[in-house]
Amino acid sequence: MRRRDFIALVGSAAVAWPFAALARQPAMPVIGYLGLSSAKADAYMLAPFLKALSEAGFDEGRNVGIEYRFAEGDVNRVPSLASDLVREKVAVIFAGTTVSALATKAATSTIPTIFAIGADPVNVGLVSSLNHPGGNLTGISFFTSQMEAKRLALLHEIVPNAELVGVLLNPNNPFSADQSRDVEEASRALNLKIQIERASNELEIAKAFNEFAQRKVGALLVGADPYFNSQRSLVIAPAAVLRIPAIYEWREFTEAGGLMSYGTSLTEAYHQAGEFVARVLKGANPADLPVLQASKFEFVINLKTAKALDLPLAPTVFARADEVIE
C-alpha cells in the first residue's frame, strides 16, 4: 500500500471512530411520570422527586429523560395515559396516586413501576405483600385514606360544640366508600351527627358547601383526595366565607389558609419515590424492594385562621401540634 493511501485510510478511520463509539453508547433511559392532576398542581411535589434523582446521579435532560402525562383531574383519562407510557417503552413509571398505580398495573406487568399512594397497596391489589411486593410494582404508602377517623376525632376535640359536622368526599375516589364507612363508624363512637356531601368538580363542591350552609354545620372534614389537593382553594375559600372550622389531609391546605391538617408529608414521600426510581434505573428489581410505610404524621394548625374564626385553642392543642403557622 502506498504511503499516501495509508494516510488517507487512517484519516478516514479516525473520523469514523467517534461516530461508531456514539452509536455503541446506550440510549438515555426515560422515566414515565403519570399524574392525576396537572403539571402546575404537581410542581411542589415534583421538585423533591427530581432532587432525589439528582442526588442519585440522574439529571433530567443530561442522562435521563422524563415523559410527563397529566390527567388534569379526569380519572377517566388515566388508563389511556398509562397505556401511552407503555407504548413509549419507558424504563420505569412513577404513579403518584392510587388510580394511576392501578391503571399502570393493568397496562403492564413488565415495566417497573414506583408508586406513592395513600391506600394500602396490599388491599387494593398492587402488591402481594409489603415486604415482598413480588411483581413489577413497589413504592411508598402513606395510608391517608385510612386516617379519616383520626381527623374526625381531632376536629371534634378542637370544635367540641359542633352539633353537626360536614364531611366532603369525592365519589370518583376509588376509596370513597371506605372513607364514608370509616367516618360513619367514627361518628357513632364519638356520638357525633355528620352530613356527608359528595363532589368531584367545582360545581358540585359549590353545591356541597351550599348544603353545608343550609344545614348549619359547625365543623368540616375534607376527605383525603388527590383532586381536592390539586384544587385546594375551591374548598378552603368557601369554608372561610361560611366560617366553618375545617380539617384537611395535607399541610399544604393549612399553609394555604385552611385551619388545620393531619397527615404525612407529600414532599417527603415524593423524595423517597425518586430514590426508588433511581434504584430501579441502576438495576434494582421492584419485586425485591419492600414497600415503605409512612411513619411520621404532622398535625399543623394555622393560627391566623383560628383567630379569624374566633376559635379558642387550648394550650394542650398547641402542645400536640407539630407546627403552628402564624
* Of 292, 224, 231, 223, nearest in space to 256 by CA: 231
3-state DSSP assignment of residue 173: coil
Cα angle: 52, vertex 55, 58; to 5 degrees = 85
The pLDDT assigned to 294 comes to: 79
What is the DSSP track for 272-294?
HHHHHHHHHHTT--GGGSPPEE-
The fold of 30-143+265-293 is Rossmann fold (3.40.50)
> Cα separation of 155 and 260, whole Å?
9
Domain 145-263+298-325, CATH number (from 3.90.470.10, 3.10.200.10, 3.40.50.2300, 3.40.50.720): 3.40.50.2300
Query: What is the pLDDT averaged over residues 176-192?
Result: 94
Where do runs of H (alpha helix) occur along the chain? 3-24, 39-55, 78-87, 98-107, 148-158, 176-190, 202-215, 226-230, 232-241, 251-255, 266-281, 303-308, 315-320
Q: Which residue has the cell 434523582?
A: 53
The stretch 105-109 carries a mean pLDDT of 97
Band (266; pLDDT cuts 50, 70, 90):
confident
pLDDT at 19: 45
Phi then psi for residue 293, to 5 deg, are: -110, 135
Domain ranges (residues) in the chain: 30-143+265-293, 145-263+298-325
Mean per-residue pLDDT, 135-158: 89
Give 61-95 pLDDT, tens digit per residue. 999 999 999 999 888 999 999 999 999 999 999 99
Which is more confident, 9 or 236?
236
Q: Is the pLDDT of residue 144 over 80?
A: no
**Same fold yes or no, 30-143+265-293 and 145-263+298-325:** yes
pLDDT tier at 26 (50, 70, 90 boundaries)?
A: low
pLDDT, residue 296, reads 75
Average pLDDT rounded to a whole number, residues 177-189: 94
Q: Pick from 187, 317, 197: which is nearest to 259 by CA?
A: 317
The reported pTM is 0.79
Q: How far apart are CA 150 and CA 138, in angstroms?
A: 26
Question: What value, to the nearest 5°, has the Cα angle with vertex 81 and ends 53 and 26?
Answer: 45
Q: Rounded CA gap, 38 and 15, in Å? A: 47
Mean pLDDT of 160-169: 96
User: How crowded is residue 157: how many other Cβ atoms within 10 Å of its Cβ?
Assistant: 13
